[in-house]
Chains A and B, each alone.
Chain A
Amino acid sequence: MTEPILSVRNLTATFGQGASALRAVNEVSFDVMPGEVLGLVGESGSGKSVTLRSLLRLLPVGGHVGGSVSWHGKDIVRMTDAELRAVRGGQISMIFQEPMTALNPVLPVRVQIEENLRAHTQLDRKGRNARAKELMDLVGIPDSARRLDEFPHQFSGGMRQRVMIAIALASDPKLLLADEPTTALDVTIQDQILNLILDLRDELAMSVVLVTHDLGVVAATCDRMAVMYAGRIVEEGDVTQVFAQPRHAYTRGLLGSIPQAGTERSMLLSIDGTPPGLAAIPQGCAFNPRCDFATDICRRTRPHLTGDGHRAACHNSDAVIAAGSPVKKALSHV
């Protein structure tokens, strides 16, 4: 079996200090294999985006990352600033949900691409210019030479997301972290961008960690998936396995909430209630107040991730498996 390129162990993200400190991410562990697309799934507030940002220590002021993130034999959590700068944007890149806010509004696209090249390559002015044009072509932006000198607000939503991908890919990263890259886009544009990311993954032989709340996106693009709830991973496995036979009640609920072509609306399951706030995570299994399968033990002890390959943290896995997957058809339409 091949070695993972990224190994995350017991990752935590804490905000604030002392008694009022809040844990947004708790003891999260996972691996990313070369060339694979890993989906990180959950409702908003589940800690998926914070997990992604913690990998590059990109938390806002007051945030603190613990645990270890090993990348090519080095622990990103313990890197010096200079080492971290070399990894960020050079070896691991990141793209964001809202390109309108993630691109600097007052700088032309050229500057925003070339500053990445300046930081991570030896290219001279001419070389950077050529590379910038090449990148714009690569992500499918027509008339690249002219558009390089335009500003973000002059691009359409989908084009803006392409610009952001071009910036992220400037220095040939081996891992792309994508934080809900298509959520802000129209459905048709969504597919184009997802396909672009998949094509580039093949072309550049990189791995992708894709954060999304959309299981349709996961089915269409990811090889493996990890489901997060209240700052922890509750289920992890191959996308086909998880979709065919969810082992955690929460995953099953999520799968039930995907609208499916060809099924009646009454089949749509949804999960009652809202995810807990960070300050009030229930005892035992964090999901128990919303769970149809919950028993006494769920209210007392927190379940651990168990299993090999396909893992889940659920006391009543057997009951969940017995109930079957709500996804009746293969999601071939997405």
Chain B
Amino acid sequence: MSMTAFLGRRLLQLVPTLIFILIVVFVLVRLLPGDPASAVLGDRALDADVERINRELGLDRSLPVQFVAFVKQVFTGNLGNSISMKIPVTQLIADRLPITMLLTFMAAVIAVVMAVPLAFVAALRRDRLEDSAIRGAFQVGLSMPVFYVGLILLTVFGAKLRWFPVGGYGDGFLDHLYHLFLPAVTLALSLSAILMRNLRSAIIGVVDAEYVTFARAKGLRANLILFRHILRNALISTLALFGLSIGTLLGGAVITETVFAVPGAGRLMVDSIYGRDYPVVQGLTIALAVLVSVTFLLTDILQAWLDPRVTK
């Protein structure tokens, strides 16, 4: 199978997933407590006003009709207006989602930077002091809730030492990076622990593989063996896990953004749930799910590129 055929098949698989996402979101939102009209108008609204709002939102029609209308709207890029903020949901998502994406991306990079070298040390010094220390530290890291880590980092490096801002997003790209650094570290901790564990056992599995012995038998330099023959093969299985972890990372972003007062999509999600702003909840859920699907797609492509057995 060529890379093009592989891509085509993989893109085709997205279709049922996207349909399922839309159904879940549609059903979930119809189940939200209280009717949206009274959320907008308050408890003492007139019946006529409630009816008008319901008509505007299309809630007076039958469910299948609503669903078809909903799918049509989604595909034309119309996700409705925020009830509380009176602006288009797409506008809100365009404003807030990039912040969450940047945060998640930074966290992913930090997690990889922490996990890869330490996984190597742990695997190559297997069962010795270094290995136990690294694994112990990451085990503790894995047991710490995101909000707890965030709170401690915020207090120590923000409030006490004043090395980093205690919240917000800042102005300009570098300032964004500066503001998002602590939240990203917070978010990265558990992912790096998971990656480290997985990569460590992958490396241990590869180190004694026959092709590594063959590479040694060729008289290659240690660095070349390490990077070309060991790391590349070990990364393939870890990469799949990394892709799957992006969803968890985005979920963690909801909490991190709350702790650090970052005005991203996660924070918006929590606020909208509290405020029963259901078009926003709906739009954001779709956007996050699509984001995760696209990440899965990208990791699959990367994996196919690293591992020729996938496509050929």
**In the assembled complex, which residues on chain B have CB atoms less than 8 Å from the CB atom of A101?**
209-211
Q: Would you call A90 and B214 a contact (CB within 8 A)? A: no
Partner of A96, one of B208, B210, B220: B210
In the complex, what's the smallest C-beta–C-beta distance from B244 to chain A, in angstroms? 21
A118 to B126 Cα, complex, angstroms? 31
Q: Would you call A103 and B211 a contact (CB within 8 A)? A: yes
Whether B86 is near chain A, meaning CB under 8 Å from some CB there, is no
In the complex, what's the smallest C-beta–C-beta distance from A306 to chain B, in angstroms? 34
Total interface residues on A, CB under 8 Å, equals 36
Q: Would you call A119 and B215 a contact (CB within 8 A)? A: no
A106 to B219 Cα, complex, angstroms? 20
Partner of B233, one of A86, A94, A105, A119: A105
Which of A58, A101, A106, A115 has the most B CB atoms < 10 Å from its CB? A106
A53 to B209 Cα, complex, angstroms? 14
Residue of B nearest to A113 (CB): B218
A263 to B215 Cα, complex, angstroms? 45
Q: Would you call B220 and A105 a contact (CB within 8 A)? A: no
Interface residues as binary, B215-238 with A (CB distance below 8 Å gives 1, 0 otherwise): 111111110100011001100100
Q: Would you call B216 and A88 a contact (CB within 8 A)? A: yes
A89 to B312 Cα, complex, angstroms? 30
Q: Would you call A102 and B219 a contact (CB within 8 A)? A: no
Partner of B213, one of A58, A84, A87, A119: A58
Whether A125 is near chain B, meaning CB under 8 Å from some CB there, is no
Quick one: given A115-B228, A151-B312, are A104 and B215 in contact (CB under 8 Å)?
Answer: yes
Quick one: given A105-B233, A107-B228, A151-B312, are A119 and B210 in contact (CB under 8 Å)?
Answer: no
**In the assembled complex, which residues on chain B have CB atoms less than 8 Å from the CB atom of A168?**
217
Whether A153 is near chain B, meaning CB under 8 Å from some CB there, is yes
Q: Which of A160-203 contact B (CB under 8 A)?
A: 164, 167-168
Whether A1 is near chain B, meaning CB under 8 Å from some CB there, is no
A101 to B213 Cα, complex, angstroms? 10
Interface residues as binary, A91-103 with B (CB distance below 8 Å gives 1, 0 otherwise): 0011010100111
**In the assembled complex, which residues on chain B have CB atoms less than 8 Å from the CB atom of A103?**
211, 214
The interface-forming segment of B139-147, B163-171, B302-310 is B302-310
Secondary structure call for the B interface: helix
Whether A60 is near chain B, meaning CB under 8 Å from some CB there, is yes
Residue of A nearest to B213 (CB): A58
A157 to B207 Cα, complex, angstroms? 24
In the complex, what's the smallest C-beta–C-beta distance from A174 to chain B, in angstroms? 14
Q: Would you call B224 and A115 a contact (CB within 8 A)? A: yes
**In the assembled complex, which residues on chain A have CB atoms less than 8 Å from the CB atom of B309?**
105-106, 151, 153
**In the assembled complex, which residues on chain A have CB atoms less than 8 Å from the CB atom of B221?**
85, 119
Q: Would you call A119 and B211 a contact (CB within 8 A)? A: no
Which of B126, B217, B229 has the most A CB atoms < 10 Å from its CB? B217
Please report A residues at the B interface, Cβ cutoff 8 Å.
53, 56, 58, 60-61, 81, 84-90, 93-94, 96, 98, 101-108, 111, 115-116, 119-120, 151, 153-154, 164, 167-168
Q: Known pairs A88-B218, A105-B309; list 7 more (Cβ under 8 Å).
A: A81-B222, A88-B216, A93-B218, A101-B209, A106-B233, A106-B308, A119-B221
The 4 closest A-B pairs by CB, nearest first: A88-B219, A89-B218, A89-B219, A94-B217
Could you show 10 A-B contacts with beta carbons less than 8 Å apart? A53-B213, A61-B126, A84-B219, A89-B220, A98-B210, A104-B211, A104-B229, A115-B228, A167-B214, A168-B217
